[in-house]
Structure 1
Amino acid sequence: MMIERSGLIVWVNDTKAARNLERFGSLHYISKKMNYAVLYIHASKLDETMRNLQKLPYVKKVERSYRNEIKTEYSSNMPDKTRFYTL
């Protein structure tokens, strides 16, 4: 049974305080250079969690990740052009 998860990009003021985001879900990555964190949560709790994250003093902005909506299955309808570039 797969649990449906959603990703959140949380822009923060302080990366040390971003470690506290683990209590909301699975903290995947914290960027010290760009001051953001990637957080995965249950899809059913998405709206509630986004509202709670916005209330935190060290959070600038919360964005939803659209990674699970991007098509990852590709089809090769185009002809293979590698034979034209051989020596």
Structure 2
Amino acid sequence: MVFEVQKRQGVFVYLYHLKQSKQLRRYGSIQYVSRKMKYVLIYMNQKEIDVNVKKLEQLRYVKEVIVSPRPEITTTYNNTLGRFKLTEEDQEKFKNKEWKI
């Protein structure tokens, strides 16, 4: 038996009232509920996101649905330092050893 890790993505669901927040369990696993801002963070499989977002938007008690952009954001910054140049002020600090890394 081989265990396969499924890719998951967060979806923010803004509600009019939090009474219906428990009903959102059928779309994914609820990670966080904000009482003050009235939103629910749900994690669901990436394969099912398009279908579930359409279903969520059709519900009466849902105000807005926002898909988290985190998977599209790059998190490796190894070679990005070479693209940027230091300003004159930063170069002076670096020469005078005021720059702390």
**Normalising TM by the smaller chain, what interval?**
0.7 to 0.9
SS in 1 for 2:18: coil
Structure 1 spans left out of the alignment, 5+ residues: none
Q: Amino acid of the residue matched to residue 84 of structure 1? A: E
For normalisation by structure 1, the TM-score amounts to 0.80
- Residue 56 of structure 1: which of 52, 56, 59 is its match? 59
TM-score (norm 2): 0.71
| Deviations, residues 35-86 of structure 1 (Å, cap 9, x unaligned) | 111111111111110111112121011111101221122237379x6x5157
Q: How does 1:1-87 map to 2 (within 5 A)?
A: 1-75=4-78, 77=81, 83-84=97-98
**Corresponding residue number in structure 1 for 2:91:** none
AA at the equivalent of 1:20: Q
Please identify which structure carries the higher strand content.
1
Q: Which amino acid aligns with 2:98?
A: F
* Larger RCO (CA within 8 A; separation ≥ 6): 1
Structure with larger Rg:
2
- What is the root-mean-square deviation of aligned Cα atoms in Å? 2.1
Q: Percent identity?
A: 32
Q: Which runs of 5+ in 2 are unaligned?
A: 87-93
